[in-house]
Amino acid sequence: MKIYIANMGKEMKILVINSGSSSIKYKLISMKKEEVLAKGLIEKIGSKDALLEQKTFHGKKYKDAREILNHEQGISLIIEMLLNGEYGVLKNINEIDGIGHRVLHGGDKFSNPVLITEEVKDKIRECIPLGPLHNPNNLKGIEAMEKVLPNVKQVATFDTAFHQSMPDYAYIYGIPYKFYQEEKIRRYGFHGSSHRYVSEKAIQTLDNKKNLKIITCHLGNGGSLCAIKDGKCIDTSMGLTPLEGIVMGTRSGDIDPAIIFNIAKKLDMTIQEIDDMLNKYSGILGISGVSNDMRELIKAINENNPRAILAMNVFTYKIKKYIGSYLATLNGADAIVFTGGIGENSYFPRELICKDLENLGIKIDVEKNKNTILGKEGFINKKDSNIKILVLSTDEELVIARDTKDIIN
Ligand code: ADP
């Protein structure tokens, strides 16, 4: 079975940047064979002992702690490391043909990746109220790169873009319409590059049939589901922010909004404290009291920890309910796809999610499921399952690199 079709093209090197508040992740990809030449991470930007780590395709590893005070220094260091005689992979800076940036929130302004211009940066800035924690840091990465490599074209790929095809009845919340009109409060959805990438891979795997209906489950530390018809998103579980939807590592997912008023009044908690509680201390971590990490949760389940078992049951039950609702939204489905750190590697939650759905045409093959982990891809459904179940690995950086290549070409 051939799941992955490499995008053969002219030799071109693209640097992909994911710039966060105190970290920058990067990958340099050679587009001819879509091969990662180097990848790295800078952490604790703004401190005297910031960390830099880089690995290359020829097995060279570099790790160091040093002062990195801002994003510009971080970006300069990345370029320096890529050019480093011993640990680097480039001889000349001109070998970088384009730079692709991951940008969290494109609001309703971007439904596709775009070449970065002053106007585009202004629009990303206008989306800051929607993505206050991410968009300013994404912009810092873009502006630092402009200073360091002013002649190289830069492209922005938005986490929200793929979901812009949702119909209005899927993205409008049941609150007064003026909040949408005046404040742009609506469902946007996230993980768009991942849902797009794995759904395209699934369509290839299913012989490029037309009008396929696919439910993609991106299950990582953050997680979301997406209902896709003929390659287009028609609904997704995350909302205005990544807090809505399924139960995640540390995020609550859907709750009764009245819980917020209730605890604010009873426990005298501030808005910021409740925000932190729902984003950082809830989800699998909050229910289990063990960890947000699936591997730790499974360890605790194996030791019969009742709250770890409960957290797993809540996590998988919620995903099952979303799959049920998307089967209704799509009027059936051809395939369900699992991806992300949990979706690709952890067979137990997949088994719980797909169990007891025979009446809906979903029959998981328990043995195939157990064997499809750690980078393996493929079908995990029984032969007579009406709906195919697939495990596919995602690669958000590759999506950004492909977008960048297409746009600068
Ligand atoms: P994110 O990108 O959202 O930070 P990832 O997609 O990297 O997250 O997924 C992280 C999750 O994947 C963690 O809960 C981790 O425990 C889980 N995971 C990664 N590898 C495995 C594995 N081999 N077995 C079980 N869970 C795994």
pLDDT for 8 beyond 50: no
Using alpha carbons, select from 362, 370, 368 the residue that is nearest to residue 388: 362
359 falls within a domain: yes
363 and 249 in one domain? yes
What percentage of the chain carries pLDDT values higher than 70?
98
- What is the torsional sign of CA 302, 303, 304, 310? negative
Q: How high is the mean pLDDT of the chain?
A: 95
Question: What would the mean pLDDT of 319-335 be, rounded to a whole number?
Answer: 98
Q: Could you give the strand order of the β-sheet that contains 223-229, starting from the edge strand earlier in sequence?
A: 232-236, 223-229, 213-219, 335-339, 388-391, 378-379
Domain boundary among 158, 186, 221: 158
**242 Cβ closer than 6 Å to some ligand 1 atom:** no
338 falls within a domain: yes
pLDDT at 5: 41
Ligand 1 geometric centre to CA of 108 (Å)? 30
233 and 136 in one domain? no
pLDDT at 11: 81
pLDDT digits (tens, 9 = 90+) for 105-136: 999 999 999 999 999 999 999 999 998 889 99
247 and 115 in one domain? no
pTM of the model: 0.93
User: Which residue in the block uniquely carries the two structure tokens 């992909």?
Assistant: 16
278 and 140 in one domain? no
217 and 146 in one domain? no
**Which atom belonging to ligand 1 lies closest to the Cα atom of 343?**
12
Ligand 1 geometric centre to CA of 134 (Å)? 21
pLDDT for 2 beyond 90: no
40 falls within a domain: yes
Count of domains in the chain?
A: 2
Confidence tier at 9 by pLDDT (50, 70, 90): very low
Ligand 1 geometric centre to CA of 247 (Å)? 14
**249 Cβ closer than 6 Å to some ligand 1 atom:** yes
106 falls within a domain: yes
CATH code, domain carrying 75: 3.30.420.40
pLDDT for 66 beyond 90: yes
217 and 139 in one domain? no
pLDDT for 4 beyond 90: no
Count CB neighbours of 95 within 10 A: 17
b or e along 351-388 (b: 16 or more beta carbons within 10 Å of the residue's beta carbon)? Answer: bbbbeebeeeebbbbeebbeebeeeebebbbeeebebb
Token pair recorded at residue 33: 């064979």
Domain boundary among 132, 158, 184: 158
365 and 279 in one domain? yes
92 falls within a domain: yes
Residues identified as active-site: 159
213 and 129 in one domain? no
* Max CA pair span of the chain: 63
154 and 38 in one domain? yes
127 falls within a domain: yes
Using alpha carbons, select from 326, 322, 296 the residue that is nearest to residue 308: 296
**296 Cβ closer than 6 Å to some ligand 1 atom:** no
pLDDT for 7 beyond 80: no
pLDDT digits (tens, 9 = 90+) for 187-218: 999 999 999 999 999 999 999 888 999 999 99
Output the DSSP codes for 11-28.
--EEEEEEE-SS-EEEEE
pLDDT digits (tens, 9 = 90+) for 226-285: 999 999 999 999 999 999 999 999 999 999 999 999 999 999 999 999 999 999 999 999
Alpha helices in 336-395 (DSSP H): 340-345, 347-354, 366-371
Confidence tier at 10 by pLDDT (50, 70, 90): low
- Measuring CA to CA, how many Å separate 298 from each of 286, 295, 306, 366, 393? 15, 5, 12, 17, 21
pLDDT for 61 beyond 60: yes
351 and 284 in one domain? yes
224 and 137 in one domain? no
Token pair recorded at residue 50: 């910031």
Structural domain boundaries, residue 233? 208-391
pLDDT at 141: 95
335 and 227 in one domain? yes
pLDDT digits (tens, 9 = 90+) for 339-377: 999 999 999 999 999 999 999 999 999 999 999 999 899
**48 Cβ closer than 6 Å to some ligand 1 atom:** no
H or E element, residue 388: strand 388-391
pLDDT for 222 beyond 50: yes
pLDDT for 3 beyond 80: no
48 falls within a domain: yes
d(CA 400, CA 409): 14
403 falls within a domain: no
